[in-house]
Structure 1
Amino acid sequence: MPTGKVRFYDADKGFGFIAEDEGGDVFLHASALPEGVTTLKKGARVEFGIVEGRRGAQALSVRLLEPAPSVAAGRRERDRKPAEEMVVIIEDLMQLLDGVSTGLRKGHYPERKVGAKVAQVLRRVADDLEG
């Protein structure tokens, strides 16, 4: 069976393309995904059958060989911030969240800009903690 990497996949539209290891692209429809799988990440390695459709090669019976490599997984222990530095960041984050919490208790969500900034900070701290 041919193998390749997912070039792109749009779960909302229900299709994407696989870049074959041998060269060329193969159309991928949602109906070819394994049972229980609703989306594929770009770069995921897959094995698949091919049928010639009206518009060219189309993948059948896709099987996930290995998920796409995670950017976060590539980080090394030496890339992490020192624990002493993280303490200060976490304490500042707690103060930030306390302010948001106070507003929520009063029935008010933060302004969109503020909410987006808090979410961005949370994601970054989570990435630093995950290392």
Structure 2
Amino acid sequence: MPSGRVRWFDANKGYGFIINDEGKDVFLPAVALPAGVTTLRKNAKVEYSVVDGRRGPQAMGVTLVESAPSLVKATRPKPDDMAAIVEDLIKLLDAAGNDLRRHHYPSAADSRKLATLMRAVADNFDVQD
């Protein structure tokens, strides 16, 4: 059974497209959705059957595939803890900004620490669903 990801789906129009594993578009009519499902999120993983439609391949008998839980999402800090980390990062960035206003870059050690901290914070915000 072919699989792919939803490229886009518009419930008002009643259709959308799937990108199959080979990178080709497959037409997705609303009638192909599972019973009780009226819309699909972008990038949702699906399996489907293919029939030849008037304008090319068309998906039928679509089933949603449960994705594995995100390890990053499961291990990221709690929102209250992240708020404290972000506030501390703002203080460090403010201090670095003050140094730059005085025409001085932070020391190499401080710059490395700041860059490492910013990357870590960014990684906690950059979670793919």
Deviation >6 Å, runs of 4+:
none
What fraction of aligned residue pairs are identical, expressed as a percent?
A: 57
Q: Secondary structure at the match of 1:60?
A: strand
Change (3 A) 1:13 1:3: same
2:28 paired residue number: 28
1:8 paired residue number: 8
Q: Does 1:53 align with 2:72?
A: no
Deviations 1:47-87 (A, max 9, x none): 000000111100000000036x99xx58921772139x7xx
Change (3 A) 1:29 1:74: farther
Q: Give the Cα separation in 1 of the matches to 2:6 and 2:66.
A: 11
Amino acid at match of 2:42: K
* Runs of 5+ consecutive residues of structure 2 not aligned to the other structure: 88-129
* Bigger Rg, which one: 2
Count how many residue pairs are aligned between Structure 1 and Structure 2: 81
1:76 paired residue number: 76
1:66 paired residue number: 66
Amino acid at match of 1:24: K
Deviations 1:15-61 (A, max 9, x none): 00000002211000000000000000000000000000111100000
Indicate the RMSD between aligned Cα atoms, in angstroms.
2.7
Q: Give the Cα separation in 2 of the matches to 1:74 and 1:40.
A: 24
- Once the two structures are superposed, the pairs formed by residues 66-105 of structure 1 within 5 Å of their partners are 66=66, 73=73, 76-77=76-77, 80-82=82-84
Q: Give the Cα separation in 2 of the matches to 1:78 and 1:34.
A: 35
Q: What TM-score comes out, normalization by structure 1 length?
A: 0.55
Q: Secondary structure at the match of 1:35?
A: coil
Q: Give the Cα separation in 1 of the matches to 2:41 and 2:78.
A: 27
Q: Secondary structure at the match of 2:31?
A: helix
